[in-house]
Amino acid sequence: MNSFQQTLQQIDGGNLADDLAEKLANLIGAVKERGKAGALSLGLKIKPLDADADSVSVVATVKVTEPAKMERASIFFTTDANTLVRNNPAQTEMKLEPVEKVDTKPEPVAKAS
């Protein structure tokens, strides 16, 4: 009698087992990255080939449900024209200019005796 693992290895010439292993690894990576649960489901549909024969067809389906991706938010301000801008239009902009670097060394401090 074949075990379930042996049967699984024989479906689609072993391609199903390889596909399952790859999808499982990808799912584990997504779960670790996103910190949320995912799922992998294997379905086997078995139907007779002939009414009088002892042979069956096995059709496998694999469904992967990855955890939801993290939402990415950005903060925008609205304008009177109902558009989005990154800088607050109600705030005045400061005019910043570069400052020249002055090379000053502190005077040595005399030691008290």
pLDDT at 62: 97
CA-wise closest residue to 59 among 16, 20, 23: 16
CA-wise closest residue to 85 among 75, 71, 73: 75
pLDDT at 72: 81
pLDDT at 58: 93
List average pLDDT for each run of 10 residues in the chain, which is 113 residues long.
Answer: 89 94 96 94 93 87 93 88 89 86 77 72
The length of the chain is: 113
Q: Cα separation of 9 and 16, whole Å?
A: 7
User: Cβ(93)–Cβ(87) under 8 Å?
Assistant: yes
CA-wise closest residue to 19 among 61, 53, 73, 66: 61
**Sign of the torsion angle spanned by Cα atoms 88, 89, 92, 97:** positive
Q: Cα separation of 62 and 42, whole Å?
A: 5
**Sign of the torsion angle spanned by Cα atoms 11, 16, 20, 22:** positive
